């Protein structure tokens, strides 16, 4: 009877463990099924690289939305990566213990703030700053609702993800390596540069990739500050229309238009595939780092 209970418990836990993975595949399958109507109308490449978005005429080109998503994500990562990595290096290698203990809860607080709060803060603070200060500084006229505003807000939202993963990677580097480097006459910065950062390079890449996937799929905060104009942007001061904002703004409002719901499901499928690839890549890199450290 004891062995039977143990077998039942083991099988039940295995079944529950497989449920999250199955949910991912079920979501992919459901989105693909819902996208079949639009894929029957145009090819996959035709949808991705078409620039015309006129649902009433049956034109569904996702290039402006893909370009907007990539622009906002790129700007966010350019801002977030150096700040996050330098913060992680300082907390891991230089900061006194009391500063480290004070900073970590603050970073956790950033991760727990709802995205709509970031969006409201962006509308009240970032948008006027970009429109009235940064744009005139570069000789550009902008309302402030732009790629740069979305990138700044998104960068702040990505900080906790990159900082936490980078700290875990740096803490996995053996202290013996640091002590050996210092004993040979290297300065703390040389030790950090040539030992810690080099040893944790793959983990740093994984942290950046995880932050990238977090930024790529963010919806509410970006939707509120990026302008939502469906055209190809030419600079960071232009408005854009990212894919998540397209889905959030339109799903449920124009379902009477033929194939419109299928087009939005296709946009969701693209987002999920990209984020899934990013996360799998980051996980593979982290596993390699852990094995190398061991």
CATH number at residue 197: 1.10.3720.10
Q: Is residue 13 part of a domain?
A: no
Q: Could you tell me if residue 173 is inside a domain?
A: yes
Overall domain count for the chain: 1
d(CA 211, CA 237): 23
Domain for residue 15, yes or no?
no
Tens-digit pLDDT string for the chain (294 aa): 788 888 888 888 888 888 877 888 888 888 888 888 888 877 777 788 877 777 777 778 888 888 888 899 899 999 999 999 999 999 888 888 888 888 888 888 888 888 888 889 999 999 999 988 888 888 888 888 999 999 999 999 889 888 988 888 888 888 888 888 888 888 888 888 888 888 888 788 888 888 887 787 777 788 889 888 888 888 889 898 888 888 888 776 656 666 788 888 888 888 888 878 877 777 777 677 666 655
**In-domain check, residue 9:** no
- Count H helices, E strands: the chain? 15, 2
14 within domain boundaries: no
Element (H, E) at 75: helix 63-89
Q: Please check whether residue 10 lies inside any domain of the structure.
A: no
Query: Could you count the other beta carbons within 10 Å of the beta carbon of residue 80?
Result: 26
In a domain, 4, yes or no: no
Which range of residues forms the domain containing residue 196?
21-293
Asked, for residue 217, whether it belongs to a domain, the answer is yes
């Amino acid at each position: 009877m004891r062995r039977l209970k143990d077998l039942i418990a083991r099988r039940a836990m295995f079944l529950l463990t497989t449920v999250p993975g199955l949910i991912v595949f079920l979501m992919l399958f459901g989105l693909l099924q819902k996208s079949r109507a639009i894929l029957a109308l145009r090819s996959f490449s035709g949808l991705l690289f078409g620039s015309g978005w006129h649902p009433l005429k049956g034109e569904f080109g996702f290039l402006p939305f893909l370009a907007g998503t990539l622009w906002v994500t790129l700007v966010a990562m350019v801002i977030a990566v150096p700040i996050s990595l330098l913060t992680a290096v300082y907390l891991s290698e230089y900061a006194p213990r009391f500063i480290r203990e004070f900073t970590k809860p603050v970073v956790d607080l950033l991760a727990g703030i709802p995205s709509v709060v970031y969006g409201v803060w962006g509308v009240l603070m970032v948008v006027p700053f970009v429109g009235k200060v940064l744009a005139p500084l570069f000789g550009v006229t902008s309302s402030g609702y732009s790629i740069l505003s979305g990138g700044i807000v998104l960068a702040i939202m990505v900080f906790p993800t990159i900082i936490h993963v980078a700290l875990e990677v740096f803490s996995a580097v053996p202290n013996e390596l640091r002590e050996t480097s210092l004993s040979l006459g290297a300065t703390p910065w040389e030790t950090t540069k040539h030992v810690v950062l080099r040893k944790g390079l793959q983990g740093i890449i994984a942290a950046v990739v995880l932050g990238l996937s977090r930024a790529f799929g963010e919806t509410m905060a970006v939707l509120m500050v990026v302008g939502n104009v469906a055209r190809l942007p030419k600079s960071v001061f232009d408005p854009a229309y990212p894919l998540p904002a397209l889905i959030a703004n339109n799903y449920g409002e124009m379902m009477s238009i033929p194939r419109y719901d299928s087009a939005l499901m296709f946009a969701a499928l693209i987002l999920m595939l990209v984020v899934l690839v990013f996360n799998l890549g980051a996980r593979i890199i982290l596993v390699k780092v852990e094995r190398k450290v061991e």
